[in-house]
Amino acid sequence: MTPLDLRTHRPRPVRATILGFYLVARTIDKLRAELPGGNLGPYLNHDTGFSAYVVRRMGLDMNDFRNAVAAAPDEDAVVAWLAARIDTSLAPAVNAKLESFVLERMSAEDQVLVRERHPVMVQRPDLSVLLDILEADDELTFAR
């Protein structure tokens, strides 16, 4: 796979799907940005993030997924790798759970963290659904 520079363009939208799962396309983009010659730019890829959550819910290890992306010649190979390892019938439940993550149900500390990590919250304090916050943050970051 060729590396991506996420300083120059955003990863795919959070609700773009691969094999029915939200965030998988975006996660592939972020993993490509970790490759030599790539750059994550303003994005994070940590063990407590949404990407890691989805990968765990698919029954995979993030490092195994990272290695599959690094070794794949193209995205079709990554999708084939995933298809051989996951149960796609889980996608609707995983996506519904992601849609249920709202700011108001988070601890006060986590709410502060979201506001610190996502500058769009200054302009859009009305946002509540975390997936909407991520999408709006992308819009703000690349509107400049």
Report pLDDT digits (tens) over 13-72.
999 999 999 999 999 999 999 999 999 998 988 887 889 999 999 999 999 999 999 999
Average pLDDT score over residue span 102-124: 91
What is the pLDDT, as a whole number, of residue 144? 57
Provide the pLDDT for residue 54. 95
Asked if 48 and 80 sit in the same domain, the reply is yes
Residues 59 and 106 in one domain: no
Same domain (yes/no): 7, 55:
yes
- CA dist., res. 92 & res. 97, Å (int): 9
pLDDT tens sequence across 68-94:
999 999 999 999 999 999 999 999 999
- Do 22 and 60 lie in a common domain? yes
97 vs 94: CA distance, rounded Å: 5
Instruction: State which H helix or E strand residue 22 sits in.
Output: strand 21-22
Confidence of residue 106 (pLDDT cuts 50, 70, 90): very high
73 or 114, higher pLDDT: 73
User: What pLDDT is stored for residue 44 in this prediction?
Assistant: 84
Lowest mean pLDDT among 3-7, 47-51, 94-98, 125-129: 47-51
State how many domains the chain has.
Answer: 2
Q: Do the beta carbons of residue 60 and residue 66 sit within 8 Å?
A: no
Answer yes or no: do 86 and 114 share one domain. Answer: no
pTM: 0.92
* Residue 139 belongs to domain spanning: 101-144
Contact between 45 and 31 (Cβ < 8 Å): yes
Q: Alpha-carbon distance 94 to 90, whole Å?
A: 6
**Which pLDDT score, from 0 to 100, does residue 64 have?**
97
| Co-location of 25 and 7 in the same domain | yes
Q: Could you tell me if 106 and 88 lie in one domain?
A: no
Angle value at C-alpha 88, between 82 and 89, nearest 5 degrees: 165
